[in-house]
Structures are given as structure tokens and as C-alpha cells.
Amino acid sequence: MASYLNTNEIRLSLRQLVKQYVEHCETCQELPEEFISLIKHNFLAKYVYYNKQKKQIEIGIDESNSPESYPEIKVYKFPVSKAAKWLDKSFKDSQSDLVFYGRLLNRNEIFNSSDVILLSR
């Protein structure tokens, strides 16, 4: 069975998914692989780390000016409890981004193994 979603529905579904990821972080003290993929995608991050002691997610982003130079990694730190808010702000709505989000949603039990199909805007 397929789920046909538009951009707003994908955004709402991702919010639900991020809540599940946050719950997993808080109970298991680790980041799910899909959550890491989402963060890397949205922030173009080089690495993502969960600091258990501080209960925050650390994201390393390459801020080099030139591809020929060594990477200049800047670390951003976000409380895991506010992940839904800062990830929502990083939502992208280009066709390729929506396809990525659809694939991510397809791997989750929210849609009971149905295929997420993007509707045109």
C-alpha cells in the first residue's frame, strides 16, 4: 500500500519521526542511524555525535572557504530535547530533499512498510 504525501505532510511526518528519534536517544543513550542520516543531510554535516553526559547532539560542519584547504570543522551543539525545533528549521523542500525524506519515512514503522510517494506541489 502506498502513502501519497505532499510537502506539508512530509514535514509533519518528519516531526513525528524526530520525536521517536529523541525518545530513542533519551532511553538508549545513542543516536539511531536514520537520525544521524537526517542530521547529516539537513546540515551537510561531516560528523554527528551524541554527548551522553550533556544530553546534546554535536554536529561538525566543514566551513572551509576552499576545497583545496584542510577542512575547518566548526562544532554546533544542540540539546537533544529541542531536536524537533532545530531540525524543523533545517527542513528543505527541493525535489531531491523530499525524495530523501520519503526514503527515510519508508524505513520507519509510522507508515507500516508502505511506500511514501511525493505528490507534486
Q: How far is it, in rounded angstroms, from Cα 38 to Cα 44?
A: 10
Beta-carbon neighbour count of residue 38 at 10 Å? 23
Return the pLDDT at 67.
Answer: 77
- The stretches in the chain having pLDDT less than 50 are 113
Q: How far is it, in rounded angstroms, from Cα 25 to Cα 30?
A: 5
The angle at the Cα of 36, spanning 60 to 106, to the nearest 5 degrees, equals: 150
Q: How far is it, in rounded angstroms, from Cα 24 to Cα 50?
A: 12
List Cβ<8 Å contacts ≥24 apart for 61-67: none
Return the pLDDT at 44.
Answer: 92
Return the pLDDT at 120.
Answer: 59
- Amino acid (1-letter code) at residue 7: T
Q: How far is it, in rounded angstroms, from Cα 94 to Cα 110?
A: 23
Short-list 22, 75, 74, 54, CA closest to 34: 22
What are the structural domain ranges in the chain?
14-108
- pTM of the predicted structure, to 2 decimals: 0.84
Return the pLDDT at 77.
Answer: 95
pLDDT one-digit tens code per residue, 106-117: 887 665 545 656
